[in-house]
């Protein structure tokens, strides 16, 4: 199973805490993590193996959206900052739209991501 992890700057600490909370499950289920650049670097510093793509504003969201469309990514955890302005909003909207089109579970906050992880 491949799970994409993405977090806006103000949510990166929450993402790392979430991953730490579910580290045992991630390892037990042999979940492959992919991520946008900076989120991936933070996850690696916390001890996770992550395949990193470009940073979100430089096309990372679009790269992950392509993997969703190709059927390679099974779940997306995108901890968004709903109060911030993001120059790559069209890429974010595309990723969310493709999750809907391809029926890929998408969690935009830790509470929803937790429910998805507990369903595994």
Catalytic residues: 61
Instruction: Check: CB of residue 5 under 8 Å from CB of residue 33.
Output: yes
Task: Return the SS3 of 49.
Answer: coil
Place of tokens 């995108």: 78
Q: What are the tokens at 99?
A: 């999750």
Tokens at residue 62, please?
Answer: 């679009």
- Contact between 3 and 32 under an 8 Å Cβ cutoff? The reply is yes
């Amino acid at each position: 199973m491949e799970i994409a992890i993405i977090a806006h700057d103000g949510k990166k600490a929450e993402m790392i805490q979430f991953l730490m909370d579910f580290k045992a499950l991630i390892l037990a289920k042999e979940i492959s993590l992919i991520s946008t650049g900076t989120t991936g670097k933070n996850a690696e510093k916390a001890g996770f193996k992550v395949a990193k793509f470009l940073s979100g504003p430089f096309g990372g969201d679009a790269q992950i959206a392509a993997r969703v469309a190709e059927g390679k990514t099974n779940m997306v955890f995108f901890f968004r900052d709903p109060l911030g302005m993001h120059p790559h909003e069209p890429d974010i909207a595309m990723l969310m739209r493709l999750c809907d089109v391809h029926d890929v579970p998408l969690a935009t906050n830790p509470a929803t991501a937790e429910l998805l992880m507990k369903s595994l």
